Amino acid sequence: MYKRITAAQLAFFRQHLQEEEREPATIEKYLRDTGSFAAWLEGRAVTKEQTSRWKEHLIRTGCQPVAVNAKLPALHKLFSLLGWSDCRVKYLRLQRRIFRHTEKELRKEEYCRLVETARGLGRERLALLMETICATGIRVSEVPYITVEALRAGRAEIALKGKIRTVLLPEKLRRKLLKYAGKRKIASGEVFLTRSGRGLSRRQIWGEMKALCQRAGVAASKVFPHNLRHLFAQAFYRACRDVVKLADVLGHSSIETTRIYLISTGVEHAWQLERLGLIT
């Protein structure tokens, strides 16, 4: 049987992902990755050998091993849906990272500068949004769950990825957001809205944060919503030293996922090596 990826199959794939209630960002990534593979094939048949060659092509063209592995789930999902499981390939074997690159690490003082810069520019919504993500550890896709009703209750009930979890809202943050909602005459529903009354998109939040970088003196490589979640995770763990509790707060199914958030920077790792005192 000649296996070829068509536009109709990709449309069917999108519908299937939507029926599984996948997050919009996940659906777009899966379609982007499968579309990229289909474009690379240039009409050639889908085989295990071709999938393996695509994987090798990604590595040769500078794609990081972690990024290569991140693209394979989309292909495997599509192959399973179409009954092409024989076209699946193995993931690259990676050594677990023991430290992360400093150039991507957002420090607390840099986060504070971003918030202060936003306020200084009159961007109150953006300042409060960054504080909300960083003080609660929510994902950027979970921002719509920060509603006036949640603020009054002191907690947000977040239903994503087939799970429901409760996110407690710090009292100081709750008061600030209720005051903001009052000023904007937002009596119910989402707190963070555009001028037209729509919820903020992931791309808009990303863009607004990036626009602060130069004025705040923070490298653009460090400024994106998910890094605020990382900063929350590190601060929370330093306070309680309980990785299981942190996993629950972040909504992770696996503690191994949570551990990634707690990897120290290269500078911290080097400092720990110096403390060993093994150089005479």
Reading the block at residue 216, the tokens are: 């705040």
Q: 55, 77, 229, 230: which is the annotated catalytic residue?
A: 229
Place of tokens 């993500």: 133
Contact predicate 111/228, CB 8 Å: yes
Q: 107, 113, 125, 252: which is the annotated catalytic residue?
A: 252
163 is catalytic: yes
241 is catalytic: no
229 is catalytic: yes
Q: 163, 185, 195, 203: which is the annotated catalytic residue?
A: 163
Q: 22, 77, 100, 139: which is the annotated catalytic residue?
A: 139
Best CA proximity match to 84, nearest among 136, 46, 28: 46
Amino acid at 185: K
- Burial zone of 74 (CB within 10 Å; 0-12 exposed, 13-18 middle, 19+ buried): buried
165 is catalytic: no
β-partners of residue 190 are 147
100 is catalytic: no
d(CA 212, CA 222): 12
Contact predicate 25/140, CB 8 Å: no
252 is catalytic: yes
d(CA 214, CA 211): 7
Which amino acids are annotated catalytic?
139, 163, 226, 229, 252, 261
